[in-house]
């Protein structure tokens, strides 16, 4: 997979993309990530990328020209262009799974008061990571990249992410490690039994119980009683 990120602050990504699983995926050649400062594409003599909004108001608005030119320079036939914006579609695991099957993602990070509405015409998709406002789209872009890369073949074991929260529409089951007893709190005996069938049943029950208690909105009952992914 190839990921291109349009940002005014490419240095924000350096440490994040040079650590942990993302670093290993890049070193294995499983993903190629490039950050592009679209200020360099500005035709303004002073490399200006924003201006005051028509109609008045506070703040500055990102201009069309630098972003249009940068996207057009990067876009290929198989590219999916994504705008990170608070009014975009909420990011959820089903969408992450879909994105992990793409071969080329172009992520546009907004900044300042917003962006010229015409920039939306460049995009195939608009995503939000939550109902709150950040300084810019850099952190949402990092979230999207991290969530997508861990699902790419060869990055981590498939059974690892298949047991993650939200993958099948439920939260993850509780996990324990050594010691067996810590400050009077014991590991459930079923996990020490060696009976894999009972362990699997226990984990499924605990995942359902946790999801019903903490995130009942994720659940909808199928005819067979299984937990299904909440569809939009």
User: Would you please indicate which residues are annotated as catalytic (active-site) residues?
Assistant: 86, 113, 150, 164
Question: Locate tokens 């992410």: which residue?
Answer: 161
C-alpha to C-alpha distance for 129 and 131, rounded to whole angstroms: 7
Can you give 39-108 as a three-state secondary structure string?
A: HHHCCCCCCCCEECCCCCCCCCEECHHHHHHHHHHHCCCCEEEEEEEEEEEECCHHHHHHHCCCCEEEEE
* Closest to 121 (Cα-Cα) out of 137, 104, 108, 105: 108
In 10 A of CB 145, how many CB atoms?
23
C-alpha to C-alpha distance for 141 and 134, rounded to whole angstroms: 12
84 forms bridges with which residues in the sheet? 109, 127
């Amino acid at each position: 997979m190839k990921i291109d990120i349009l940002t005014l602050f490419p240095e924000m990504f350096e440490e994040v993309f040079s650590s942990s699983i993302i670093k290993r995926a890049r070193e294995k050649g499983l993903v190629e990530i490039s950050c592009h400062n679209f200020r360099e594409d500005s035709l303004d003599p002073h490399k200006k990328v924003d201006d005051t909004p028509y109609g008045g108001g506070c703040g500055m608005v990102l201009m069309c020209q630098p972003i249009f030119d940068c996207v057009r320079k990067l876009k290929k036939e198989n590219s999916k262009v994504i705008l990170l914006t608070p009014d975009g579609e909420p990011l959820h695991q089903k969408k992450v799974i879909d994105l992990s099957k793409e071969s080329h993602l172009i992520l546009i990070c907004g900044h300042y008061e917003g962006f010229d509405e015409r920039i939306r015409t460049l995009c195939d998709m608009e995503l939000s990571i939550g109902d709150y406002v950040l300084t810019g789209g850099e952190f949402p872009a990092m979230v999207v990249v991290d969530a997508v890369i861990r699902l790419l073949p060869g990055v981590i074991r498939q059974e690892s992410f298949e047991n993650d929260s939200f993958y099948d529409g439920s939260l993850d089951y509780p996990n324990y490690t050594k010691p067996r007893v810590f400050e009077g709190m014991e590991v459930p005996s079923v996990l020490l039994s060696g009976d894999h069938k009972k362990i699997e049943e226990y984990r499924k029950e605990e995942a359902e119980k946790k999801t019903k208690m903490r995130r009942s909105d994720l659940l909808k009952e199928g005819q067979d009683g299984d937990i299904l992914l909440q569809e939009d």
